[in-house]
Amino acid sequence: MTDWSLVYDRFDPDRQGLREALCATGNGYYVSRGAFCWVMADKTHYPATYLSGGYNRAPTEVAGRVIENEDLVNLPNWSALTFRVAEGDWFNIQAVEILSFRQTLDLFRGVLEVTVRFRDKANRESTLSTRRLVSMADMHLAGIELSLTAHNWSGPVQVRSALDGRVINAGVRRYRDLNSSHLTPLIAGTYQARDGGEALLQLLVETKQSRLRVAQAARTRVVSNPHAFEARTESVHEEGYVQQDLHCSVGHGETLVVEKLAALYTSRDTAISEPGIAAREAAAHAPAFGRLRQDHERVWRQLWDRCDIVLDGDSKTQMILRLHIFHLLQTLSPNTINLDVGVPARGWHGEAYRGHVFWDELFILPFLNYRLPAISRSCLRYRHMRLPKAREAAAEEGLKGAMFPWQSGSDGREESQKVHLNPRSGRWVPDNSCIQRHVSLAIAYNAWRHFQITGSEHFLELRGAELILEVTRFFASLAHLNGQTGRYEIHRVMGPDEYHEAYPETEEPGLNNNAYTNVLVAWLCSASMQVLACLDAPHRQELMEKLLLDERELALWDEMSRKMTICFHGEGIISQFEGYENLKEFDWDGYRKKYGDIQRLDRILEAEGDSSDRYKLSKQADVLMLFYLFSREELSDLMQRLGYEPLTEDQWQRNIDYYLARTSHGSTLSYMVHAAVMARSHPDKAWDLFQQALHSDIDDIQGGTTPEGIHLGAMAGTVDLVQRCFTGLDVRDGVLHFDPVFADRMGTLKLKLRYLGRWLHVVLKDEEMTVAAHSGWVRPVSICVRGESRDLPPGEAITFRLSKGAATEVGRSAAE
């Protein structure tokens, strides 16, 4: 294993699902799981391809009633490519003697390679090698190169290439009782290239409800073999499936090389006449695999130049960090910018959560804001385009403004299930997660942070301000004034901790005065005033007229920013919600002894006939999300504005310790958030939690969830943790602040940032920090390192010596 490669040196059928998710290749337009090209879906393998935002809705009868789910659709398998020698069996890795095996995901180049040396039943020794990519340079193209070397034999070889549309959604076991058929086959066959060359494959399908047409076309040819002139081709097609067989031969010690180039278009693509025509033309004119790979690797090299984070403490940490960046860029790339897609919680890598969009952009956009802000804007545009649906949802609740759904898909309606299956008990139980109204707060927070980091007035005028103000309006209508306390309250919501949906022994879902929600509402009401102040007079007037926003509403927001209710208990502990202190303490030791893995305590307790609502326990950070999103200075300012005493240093740490001791880490986001809030007070403990977060997917610590799709929020969150928490990165009042944290095992940290359109290079090493500004910009950048403010001119680098709580400038030089 190098720090640029994910390597497996033996075939393990029991771990193949995990590897297929981790070795997926994609380009922001679509993603294909890293299944071997010669396999079909079975108990071991699950080849699948998913289009960004490629959804379809299907009904199913569950527990006596019909429910409807919108799913990310498993598209036809373009990668099917296999072979057999003479008239023998088609290649099956589990039916041969494996002499050596190596699977390598090259993160720097974006190429998946598999090499197997094997002996078959006829004692023939061969080496099979495949290389696969989904082009980052041309988002519609993908390719596979297959090489077969005959070590001790010669003879005929039959190669079969196919496009297989007979697929269903079967990637998540607990969904298998639900309707999984989403595609209607339309066309399957071959066609001749215009130049009269070889026959190519074509397949056209349509999703059953959303009427999305998906076209694939493929060109397969023998490209390197002394006997290539002997190759002959024959084709077979049936409904939803087309195959092409190439008959050739290979000599003793020779290598047969076959390449397959595939094109994928859909009816929602722009600048095309029809997807089938576009796919056929693209496949016919696609470059050879070598050229396709060259262009693909060039784009990846450019992306890594912007996005790499060097952390040289140990090579495995570095590799996993790059793996996380890699999958983030495969999900959201420059190819995503012109697409109408959100940020899926599980990437486009599998069917878990049905490809839906939750609040994970809160953990993902910070990395993109500082490097590829156009992608961040496209994700925020996805939300803005669904403002009408969010307004409609709020109005249905008798409220104003925009209420975004907890789970979003194609059109922005609420996609959350009404019931969900507890796999431990086998029961379908009510799902009230849709009352997590804080998802709207995350959207507004992201919009404001994007403006702060990029300085894009155009974004604020076009989309950002409207998003922020409409979310503020929603929470202002959701809140009510308590006449006795003189403070505003919000009832019947859930915070990020999904273990608490309601008060014990009550039928009505929701909790009162969730601290995370209320503090963010106070912050939002204040931020909305800043938003209006940042708009020039004409745009401000136009927006207020469009939204029918008057001074009375603004006065209410200002009052709410000073009078939201925050509950406390004990010695300065922020209560997760009103009445939290009345819940029972949980027997952590007893349940660990009884069950071992207790990450999903909600399922364990439900199976016992109990409920997590009754106990002081959390699935993930809730109160501590405030410590994650805001610096201590920002949170102190918020508390003071609300009329509460800011937390002392002792109270700050006591809150962290209190909730960390009561958290099961049932979400992959949990370790990452807790590592971030621990970074300043206990950097080595934070490093341990960071390592657990880092290994969440690569080690599948939740016991089988990663094969169903990566956890994109946790992956991106670990990268942001390094970027933001270990550097102490923060933007306040137009100044880029740094307050670095050193963990003993961190080593040297190097990264690039784009702030207000200007590129900076940051290096942390040996208690020193160097910040360099790339040349080519006119204005200096305002930075502050542990209270030392400087204007950093273009082309210069400033080095600071760091001591406890302070920084001293020790030198200036030309930026490299």
Three-state secondary structure string covering 451-505:
HHHHCCHHHHHHHHHHHHHHHHHHHHHHCEEECCCCEEECCCECCCCCCCCECCC
> Taking a C-beta distance cutoff of 8 angstroms, is the pair 153, 86 a contact?
no
Residue 222, amino acid = V
- Closest by Cα among 349, 299, 328 to 723: 328
Q: Is 693 exposed, middle or buried (0-12, 13-18, 19+ CB in 10 A)?
A: buried
Q: Binding site residues, as ranges?
A: 359-360, 619-620
CATH class name, domain 5-299: mainly beta
Could you tell me the two tokens for 714? 């946790």
Cβ neighbours for 705, distance < 8 A, ≥ 6 positions apart: 352, 668, 711
Q: Binding site residues for substrate, as ranges?
A: 359-360, 619-620
Give the pairing type, strands 309-311 and 749-755: antiparallel
Give phi and psi for 278, each to the nearest 5: -60, -45
Amino acid 1: pLDDT: 52
Cβ neighbours for 417, distance < 8 A, ≥ 6 positions apart: 67, 69, 431
CA distance 515 to 578: 8
**In a 3-state reduction of DSSP, which class is residue 68?**
strand
Beta-carbon count within 10 A of 683 CB: 19
Which of the residues in the chain have pLDDT under 50? Answer: 229
Beta-carbon count within 10 A of 489 CB: 18
Tell me how far CA of residue 761 lies from CA of 54, 325, 754, 816, in angstroms: 38, 18, 9, 9
- Closest by Cα among 128, 355, 780, 107 to 797: 780
Cβ neighbours for 455, distance < 8 A, ≥ 6 positions apart: 756, 757
CATH T-level fold of 736-814: Maltose phosphorylase, domain 3 (2.60.420)
Amino acid 422: pLDDT: 72
- How far is it between the farthest Cα atoms of the chain? 91
Containing H/E element for 234? Answer: strand 232-238
> Taking a C-beta distance cutoff of 8 angstroms, is the pair 717, 363 a contact?
yes
> Taking a C-beta distance cutoff of 8 angstroms, is the pair 675, 690 a contact?
yes
Amino acid 229: pLDDT: 45
Containing H/E element for 105? Answer: strand 97-106
> Taking a C-beta distance cutoff of 8 angstroms, is the pair 787, 347 a contact?
no
Q: Is 115 exposed, middle or buried (0-12, 13-18, 19+ CB in 10 A)?
A: middle
CA distance 478 to 103: 53
Residues acting as catalytic residues: 498
* Domain segments of the chain as ranges: 5-299, 736-814
